[in-house]
Amino acid sequence: MKTITARLTASTFALSLLAAPVMAANYSDWDTDGTDGISETEFRAGFEKNEAFDRWDADSNGTLSHTEFNEGIGDKEQAFTDRYGDGWFDDWDANSDAGIDENEYYDGLYSSYDENSNNVIEEPEFGDLGDDMGDGGWFDV
């Protein structure tokens, strides 16, 4: 009996480690102030934890080129474009310098998930973010 219990405990622990990244995209974890919706500040704090911007910035210049962004999302480029539209890079590049800095990156993402443009991401809108950060998503944490 002790062997079965030990195996179940070990299996449960191993599964919890595998599930940890997905848990990072739980609405209640991101809504830190308890008000309805996720503010832009809460969104950025939650999203920064996956470190995609830093990992994708291959030359560490603080700006993502179109090439760096596409290399970062890899074979999910078409799915990304389908979600955000053909002109997403130019839309996000607010200062038109052919690169997306961190503020443009987070502003672009936030406005994309805030589908109704009311300056908060409600729980139904958050579902897309959870998909994108989960296994197989382009921000796979």
| Strand-pair category, 63-64 with 100-101 | antiparallel
Digit-coded pLDDT (tens) for 9-47? 333 333 333 333 333 568 888 999 988 899 999 999 988
The overall average pLDDT reported for the chain is 80
* pLDDT value of residue 54: 94
Q: Is the pLDDT of residue 132 over 90?
A: no
CA distances to 48, 61, 73, 116, 138 from 55, in Å: 11, 12, 11, 30, 13
- Domains contained in the chain, CATH given: 30-133 (1.10.238)
